[in-house]
């Protein structure tokens, strides 16, 4: 790995992260805000489309974050070179079940890291400096996925060194975790609720976090601190008090609208 210069590594990490961001957020944008904008409008959590200046701001902040992520990525590679981490390159060094389990544990670790650091960033002494930038989006789009201040970008990126310091993890497993992270981050900011209305009547509601949950966080800044899962918010009683009602409103509004259009089609 030493044959690569630091600048080459920094550039490569930036380019790969930017491509991942553009692909995931770009597809979500194309589907929700271009191709199916009218068809899905009844599933739009906040019944309003964002202004283009908001989208430009979200993209600009996200691109700045990509460079900060690359900086933290480079620092993590230095730590790997010095043998401070548990990253392993020989895939057979651990059994295959560990390869998959290490991804699952990293996802749970990240969810916990995110919940508690996010709650901390809402402290009045930290909010302005760290987290206000992300909350400039009150009606976020997929492009807001990385829209952080430089300080928050470092806090968010801390999961990279944390995971490799705490767990034996293969670089490919870590890459798969990064794909999961990007996918859920984009879904959480997409502005549309994709889950079935049945979710709030099933025990899965304790587990799965929804785009409605995060959209409400952007809208009111009260509660809903979770990322992938909802159990920390449930356990610490930090879900917004109207969360389940809002989810039901958004998802049954969808059904009512769909039925209405069906009836109109039959009548005509
Ligand atoms: Zn927040
Ligand atoms: Zn957000």
Q: Kindly report, residue by residue over 149-201, the tens digit of the pLDDT.
A: 999 999 999 999 999 999 999 999 999 999 999 999 999 999 999 999 999 99
User: 187-214, pLDDT tens digit by residue?
Assistant: 999 999 999 999 999 999 999 999 999 9
Confidence of residue 266 (pLDDT cuts 50, 70, 90): very low
Question: Residue 4: what pLDDT?
Answer: 73
Q: At which residue do the structure tokens 């293969």 appear? A: 170
How far apart are the CA of 211 and the centre of ligand 2, in A? 10
* Cα separation, 178 vs 218, whole angstroms: 23
Nearest listed ligand to the Cα of residue 117: 1
Q: What is the dihedral of CA 65, 67, 72, 74, to 10 degrees?
A: 160
Nearest listed ligand to the Cα of residue 137: 2
Confidence of residue 267 (pLDDT cuts 50, 70, 90): very low
DSSP 243: H
Work out whether the CA dihedral 76, 77, 83, 89 comes out positive or negative: positive
User: 55-86, pLDDT tens digit by residue?
Assistant: 999 999 999 999 999 999 999 999 999 999 99
Question: Residue 255: what pLDDT?
Answer: 59
* Cα separation, 33 vs 27, whole angstroms: 10
Average pLDDT over residues 133-140: 96
Question: Residue 166: what pLDDT?
Answer: 95
How far apart are the CA of 74 and the centre of ligand 1, in A? 27
User: 2-38, pLDDT tens digit by residue?
Assistant: 557 999 999 999 999 999 999 999 999 999 999 999 9
Q: What is the pTM of this model?
A: 0.90
* C-beta separation of 260 from 266 below 8 A: no
* Cα separation, 160 vs 178, whole angstroms: 9
Nearest listed ligand to the Cα of residue 142: 2
Nearest listed ligand to the Cα of residue 127: 1
* Cα separation, 34 vs 2, whole angstroms: 45
Half-sphere exposure of residue 225: CA atoms within 13 angstroms, side-chain side: 22
How far apart are the CA of 215 and the centre of ligand 2, in A? 7
How far apart are the CA of 88 and the centre of ligand 2, in A? 32
Question: Residue 268: what pLDDT?
Answer: 44
Average pLDDT over residues 228-241: 97
How far apart are the CA of 118 and the centre of ligand 1, in A? 6
């Amino acid at each position: 790995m030493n044959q690569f210069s630091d600048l080459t590594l920094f550039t490569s990490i930036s380019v790969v992260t930017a491509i991942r961001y553009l692909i995931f957020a770009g597809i979500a944008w194309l589907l929700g805000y271009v191709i199916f904008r009218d068809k899905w409008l009844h599933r739009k959590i906040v019944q309003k489309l964002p202004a283009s200046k908001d989208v430009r701001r979200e993209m600009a902040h996200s691109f700045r974050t990509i460079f900060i992520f690359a900086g933290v990525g480079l620092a993590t590679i230095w730590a790997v070179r010095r043998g401070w981490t548990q990253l392993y390159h020989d895939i057979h060094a651990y059994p295959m079940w560990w390869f998959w389990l290490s991804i699952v544990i990293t996802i749970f670790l990240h969810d916990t890291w995110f919940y508690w650091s996010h709650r901390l960033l809402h402290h009045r002494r930290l909010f302005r400096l760290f987290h206000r930038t992300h909350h400039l989006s009150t009606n976020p789009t997929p492009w807001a996925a990385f829209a952080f201040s430089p300080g928050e970008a470092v806090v968010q990126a801390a999961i990279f060194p944390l995971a490799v310091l705490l767990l034996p993890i293969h670089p490919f497993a870590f890459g798969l975790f990064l794909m999961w992270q990007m996918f859920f981050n984009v879904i959480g900011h997409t502005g549309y609720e994709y889950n079935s209305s049945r979710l709030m009547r099933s025990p899965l509601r304790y587990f799965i976090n929804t785009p409605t949950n995060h959209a409400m966080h952007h809208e009111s800044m009260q509660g809903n601190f979770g990322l992938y899962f909802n159990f920390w918010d449930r356990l610490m009683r930090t879900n917004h008090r109207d969360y389940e009602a809002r989810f039901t409103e958004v998802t049954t509004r969808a059904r009512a609208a769909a039925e209405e259009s069906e009836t109109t089609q039959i009548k005509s």
